[in-house]
Amino acid sequence: MKLSIAYWNIAGSKPLAALALEDSVEYDIIAIQEPWVNPHTGGTYALGRGRYTVVYRSGNAAIYVHKRHAREAWEPGIGSNWSRVTFGEGDQVLNIWSIYSPIRRATIGGAQSTNSQRKRRGDATYS
């Protein structure tokens, strides 16, 4: 099975959610981390008549499956900081995960650093 997949941390931005889901490029799967959450309903960005079915309950990870994939063709999985869709069965299974992992801050020589900075330096100690 060949699928086009986009992964994006939208940092809770509703405009970025709209951009991802309403773009002219129609991915098979869009995995969103830190989705925008509606403060009134607790749900995430979803267009009722849109092109995608959302796999989301709460937390920091959502997956959108394009509606060209029949709902019977895949199974959802949902946790507090992860979402998963499974296509196929038996030895032909394909699992697609969106897992949220918050950035841990580390102290390097007294200064805070990001994960990318820690990868370049080996002297990080976690606080």
CA distance 71 to 7: 21
pTM: 0.77
Model pLDDT, residue 57: 85
Cα 75–chain centre separation? 16
Collapsed DSSP state (helix, strand, coil) of residue 125: strand
What contacts 26, CB < 8 A, 6 or more positions away?
A: 51, 66, 68
Task: Label the pairing between strands 125-126 and 106-108.
Answer: antiparallel
What contacts 90, CB < 8 A, 6 or more positions away?
A: none
Q: Is 18 left (phi over 0), alpha (psi -120 to 50) or beta?
A: alpha
Per-residue pLDDT of the chain (127 residues), as tens digits, is: 789 999 999 999 999 999 999 989 999 999 999 999 989 988 888 777 789 999 988 889 999 999 999 999 999 999 989 999 999 988 899 999 999 987 776 655 555 544 444 333 333 333 3
Extract the tokens encoding 81. Answer: 């900081």
First vs last Cα of the chain: how many Å apart?
A: 43
Model pLDDT, residue 84: 96
Check: CB of residue 37 under 8 Å from CB of residue 44: yes
